[in-house]
Chain A
């Protein structure tokens, strides 16, 4: 149980296009989903926190108009990278926190999406 999927796993796009990444909790409901970015050989950096039915909370330095987050249901959150540029190339990872598992603050991570912007 507690599986999180991401789609697509890899995407290559041209500069200026928009890319949507989906994050799904497959067997549990998640009130909160998190989006992270990881550059090569670096750690994960939290980009935004997404709560179902409300606006996402973005970390300092993350452009909300560029990284659009929608959390329309308890099992799906999407991250759209708008007008992508080569510097947006990165590994994007989502995580989900289950409703029923409040203690321990446990998050379940997706497998990540490798975005390459040409």
Chain B
């Protein structure tokens, strides 16, 4: 079963605007990761946030994690047309190091030039 649930399922914005995607999960985690997937392509790892971290930045990306609410958000600032892709959160199923990632359903982001 899916661990992560992203919302919104689809998001359409204008270039330059910020895009916020949310992810909720059900069980305890060691970390949560965000991935990007261009249509018909493989996944690109964006950022990992550990369970003892609350916020993390990487370039135009900002990720927050609230373990009490079992939720995370991914913010892309000053979006570009090239950011158009699907974004997935993923958690480690067993909360350990086995590596079994469970992916959310994803948010399809469309950035219009």
A residues with a Cβ closer than 8 A to B are 4, 6, 32, 34, 36, 42-46, 49, 91, 93, 95, 97, 102, 104-112, 114
Contacts and interface: CB of A to CB of B under 8 A. Distances in A.
Interface residues of B, number: 24
B42 A43 contact: no
A44 B103 contact: yes
**Binding site secondary structure of chain A:** strand
Contacts, number: 59
A114 B103 CA distance: 19
A43 B2 contact: yes
Interface of B: 2, 30-31, 35, 40-45, 48, 50, 88, 92, 97-106
A45 B104 CA distance: 9
A93 to B, nearest CB: 6
A105 B43 CA distance: 15
Give the 7 A-B CB pairs with smallest separation, nearest first: A111-B42, A109-B43, A44-B103, A43-B103, A109-B42, A112-B42, A43-B105
A111 B41 contact: yes
Contacts of A111: 41-42
A57 B50 CA distance: 26
A102 B31 CA distance: 13
A91 B35 CA distance: 17
A106 B48 CA distance: 8
A93 B105 contact: no
